[in-house]
Structure 1
Amino acid sequence: MSTVFNFTFVPWFRSVAPYIHKFRHQTFVVGITGEAIAAGKLQGIVQDLALIQAMGVKIVLVHGFRPQVNEQLRLKGQEPRYYNGVRVTDSIALDCAQEAAGQLRYEIEAAFSQGLPNTPMAGARVRVMSGNFLTARPVGIVDGVDFMHSGLVRKVDVEGIRRALESEAMVLMSPFGFSPTGEAFNLSMEEVATRVACEMKADKLIFLSEVPGIRMNPSEPDSEDNPIDTELPLAAARQLLAQLPPPQVPTDTGFYLQHCVRACEHGVERSHILPFAVDGALLLEIYVHDGIGTMVIDEKLEELREATIDDVGGIIQLIEPFEKDGTLVKRDRTEIERDITSYTVIEHDGVIFGCAALHPYLEAKTAEMAAVTVSPQSQGTGDGEKLLKRIEQRARALGCTSMFVLTTRTMHWFIKRGFQPVDPEWLPEARKAKYNWSRKSQVLVKQL
């Protein structure tokens, strides 16, 4: 039994190591919905956050309290009021919000203070720091609706938060802000988390939400046959938002997406929407290659794009040295011109530094990733990862359930990214007929 465990644990732990090194000293802003706490998920989330912090990540945690405030209101015989998805906060709702925030902060701080032996929190010693880090202003009157004590973030005390993080504390923020005259305003967790991430120039903004992410087909958000789009470029996310009606409730597709887009537009490279219902969602998204939710990524359009006929010369120049040393199979110009729409390229300052092609075999619901090439000057910068992600997206969009590569020299790179070796007999019949048995390429498959 222990031998089997060693064979599974050791490779897994080694595969996680690059992400541990990558994220050390980075800053993550994590927004946790009140619904996650109401669903009893706080303990697991706290344990995962403590583990992430122990691996050197600086964390700002912003909690929501939507269901807790609504429950307090109903206990007082009041109904929650919203307009265009924003709470209308009268004096009673403000009292309820203050009560809910106080209770939740107590629960969260207590959870981080646990340290029982033989639990994930043993020896964690997480110091949680809160404070008046936000200055707020009123929403005011919009479309004739007086939002009263509902507010918007006016200013974030970036230096105060940074000093707290540098003292190795985790910063806990409630969705409350105060005016210069000391007036309290009820804010939304999503706006607070987004503004803090933008002002801090955080490396990640993460929402632990009621939704599993953004579906490939947003018009069918509840369909289990509609897979999650694990990586959404900023341009595509903007386009999707423009097609959607204004979000009113958290389960609307655009509700968290609008904040992810805003964050990426203001210097946050990656924003994530994760389901709190999945145990360990934070760990699965951060430390596993494919993740579990949707990541909106700020990538320049000119860097990663589908190839055009004008790119043929650049592709040939890129792959030629790899064809000469036998890493790639020789392709003539006519073949590349014919298949140019199958290629994705990475371009820096007008020069192509990486490419990959997608050849679908739809009858078998699979596709081949071919001609995967990254310039020696660009290797180690993540360009190969970007190409792989984009080709996976294209394959999923075609309805493929798997993707395969043929390689003689880069097998380990693909295995580290979820591919598994198979016998060449696995190949679709049309591809098997073209397989070069003398070259003895290794066939690797990844399930999508």
Structure 2
Amino acid sequence: MNLIFPHTFVPWFRSVAPYIHAYRGKTFVVAMAGEGIAAGKLSAFVQDLAILQAMGIKLVLVHGFRPQVSEQLRAKGHPERFSHGLRITDAPALDAAQEAAGQLRFEIEAAFSQGLPNTPMANATVRVVSGNFLTARPVGIVDGVDFIHSGIVRKVDAITIRRTIDSGAVVLLSPFGFSPTGEAFNLTMEDVATSTAIALQADKLIFMSEVPGIRESQDDPESAIDTELALADAEKLLASLPLPNRPLDPGFYLRHCVKACREGVERSHILPFSQDGALLMEVYTHDGIGTMVVDEKLESLREATADDVGGILQLIEPFERDGTLVRRERTSIERDIANYTVIEHDGVIFGCAALYPYPEAGTAEMAALTISPQVQSQGDGERILKRVEQRAKSMGLSSIFVLTTRTMHWFIKRGFQPVDPDWLPEARKRKYNWDRRSQVLVKPLQ
């Protein structure tokens, strides 16, 4: 039985289309914590990565292996040692890390090779390339602690990685690097992913982690996840937190996100690997599911340009169809585009309104105020209203008015008062549709 119905699938798929277009050809560095693989999340995660690649996204995958190395050491009866949040990699730990990395690479490549019918991997052909892309140096001795074979990324072979992902393959990086003399160093997944994202100037750095993201209140473990953090706010938060030593510490992944954004990566994300489909939800929905750190707010309130005509038409069309808005032809929007104010998020128009001045009457009409159902009740309508009021004030006008058939109470709550249609400026009164019987509401501008 077909459980996907056109009346739900088609609108959903169309709503995803702007993100598909926006990210085609972009580069993502995605890091999966070893804990996620140990929790059995690898197969579904690889399926989601294959979907991203099918949508034209260039991928570098970095895997972690903390629990796998720990398991190898326990099996050998060798104790683990940590300091400053890093593993002290002695000779047995280095051997355990090499064994764990080899096993995980085998499992990941096998997961990308699956192609069972009736699964997301059916008909997928994903080539995985790994190699000695990383040059490392030793951590050395810190506060009297010798980290031995633990290392830090010194250089990323960005040219070869770029050439490989441009050819359509997925690059797989293990947390290992080598010195020019051939010495191996155990690295951290976070360092590898962050350094690689910076070297590639990737469009996104994504951590699939043990934590759901950054909570709005650090004092309340049940508070909501902050879905978007401006870089400046993330830096302030990081400065207020204790030095993170464990993956579950709030600043553990955040410090890497901040570093990446400081050094040219547009967006960095912290997502929970425990949530099935978290990667797809973060990339292809408006609010996502985890925390995103950006150099500046992705949401922009601005005046419209000719490039926004298509987005405005797509936004208002459902409201025209159900009679909430009067139908507007594309040519009229193109002609009047300078009158429009829009809210966009990540290149997608989520709200708009137009302002038509009647200077002889000292007023202006605000028309086509529209907010996408995806983001309603988040205050975007008020933000657009305030921006339109500012535009009207800058023209020296004393009021704005609207015509509405269904949203009268929304406007009354925001200072509009109903008036008789005869109040309208003469030029607008001649175009008033008496059959539609729209309510006229006016708001004085202070």
Task: Provide the TM-score with structure 1 as the length reference.
Answer: 0.72
Residue 183 of structure 2: aligned partner: 183
Is contact 2:209–2:273 with CA below 8 Å preserved after alignment? yes
Check if 1:235 corresponds to 2:232: yes
Distance 2:227 2:107 in 1: 32
Quote the offset at 1:377 in angstroms. Answer: 7.2
Q: What RMSD in Å do the two structures reach over aligned CA positions?
A: 3.5
SS class of match (1:177): strand
Residue 263 of structure 1: aligned partner: 260
Amino acid across the alignment from 2:93: A
Residue 288 of structure 2: aligned partner: 291
Question: Taking structure 1 as reference, are residues 177 and 410 closer, same or farther at Cα in structure 2, changes over 3 Å only?
Answer: same
Quote the offset at 1:163 in angstroms. Answer: 1.1
Residue 95 of structure 1: aligned partner: 95
1:152-185 CA distance string (max 9 Å, x none): 0011001110111111000000000000111100
- Which of 276, 279, 289 lines up with 1:279 in the alignment? 276
Q: Which ranges of structure 1 fall in alignment gaps of 5 or more residues?
A: 306-314, 320-374, 392-406, 443-448
Amino acid across the alignment from 1:431: K
1:40-189 matches, within 5 Å, as 40-189=40-189
Distance 1:82 1:95 in 2: 17
Quote the offset at 1:431 in angstroms. Answer: 2.5
Residue 244 of structure 1: aligned partner: 241
Amino acid across the alignment from 1:292: I
Amino acid across the alignment from 2:244: P
**Structure 1: 4+ residue segments shifted above 3 A:** 1-4, 375-380, 386-389, 416-428, 432-442
Distance 2:51 2:165 in 1: 16
Is contact 1:285–1:292 with CA below 8 Å preserved after alignment? yes
Distance 1:270 1:215 in 2: 18
Residue 396 of structure 1: aligned partner: none
1:370-389 CA distance string (max 9 Å, x none): xxxxx967989x96327999
Residue 340 of structure 1: aligned partner: none
1:349-360 matches, within 5 Å, as none
Distance 2:340 2:416 in 1: 30
SS class of match (1:136): strand
Distance 1:176 1:15 in 2: 40
Amino acid across the alignment from 1:206: I
Quote the offset at 1:75 in angstroms. Answer: 1.1
Distance 1:300 1:229 in 2: 13
Residue 30 of structure 2: aligned partner: 30
Amino acid across the alignment from 1:248: N
Question: Taking structure 1 as reference, are residues 423 and 148 closer, same or farther at Cα in structure 2, changes over 3 Å only?
Answer: farther
Question: Taking structure 1 as reference, are residues 229 and 76 closer, same or farther at Cα in structure 2, changes over 3 Å only?
Answer: same
Is contact 1:408–1:440 with CA below 8 Å preserved after alignment? no
Question: Taking structure 1 as reference, are residues 96 and 423 closer, same or farther at Cα in structure 2, changes over 3 Å only?
Answer: farther
Task: Provide the TM-score with structure 2 as the length reference.
Answer: 0.72
Distance 1:436 1:184 in 2: 76
1:317-356 matches, within 5 Å, as none
Residue 409 of structure 1: aligned partner: 368
Quote the offset at 1:208 in angstroms. Answer: 0.3
Distance 1:409 1:58 in 2: 38
Distance 2:253 2:81 in 1: 20
1:209-265 CA distance string (max 9 Å, x none): 000000000222x31xx1110000000000000000100100111000000000000
Residue 207 of structure 2: aligned partner: 207
Distance 2:57 2:373 in 1: 27
Distance 1:3 1:65 in 2: 39
Amino acid across the alignment from 1:50: A
Question: Taking structure 1 as reference, are residues 72 and 425 closer, same or farther at Cα in structure 2, changes over 3 Å only?
Answer: farther
Is contact 1:425–1:432 with CA below 8 Å preserved after alignment? no
Question: Taking structure 1 as reference, are residues 423 and 236 closer, same or farther at Cα in structure 2, changes over 3 Å only?
Answer: same
Quote the offset at 1:35 in angstroms. Answer: 0.4
How many residues matched? 355
SS class of match (2:345): helix
Question: Taking structure 1 as reference, are residues 129 and 409 closer, same or farther at Cα in structure 2, changes over 3 Å only?
Answer: same
Quote the offset at 1:424 in angstroms. Answer: 5.2
Question: Taking structure 1 as reference, are residues 3 and 122 closer, same or farther at Cα in structure 2, changes over 3 Å only?
Answer: closer
Question: Taking structure 1 as reference, are residues 188 and 379 closer, same or farther at Cα in structure 2, changes over 3 Å only?
Answer: farther
Distance 1:246 1:290 in 2: 29
Distance 1:423 1:263 in 2: 47
SS class of match (1:17): helix
Check if 1:385 corresponds to 2:345: yes
Amino acid across the alignment from 2:34: G
Quote the offset at 1:78 in angstroms. Answer: 2.2
Residue 435 of structure 2: aligned partner: none
Question: Taking structure 1 as reference, are residues 423 and 214 closer, same or farther at Cα in structure 2, changes over 3 Å only?
Answer: farther
Question: Taking structure 1 as reference, are residues 231 and 92 closer, same or farther at Cα in structure 2, changes over 3 Å only?
Answer: same
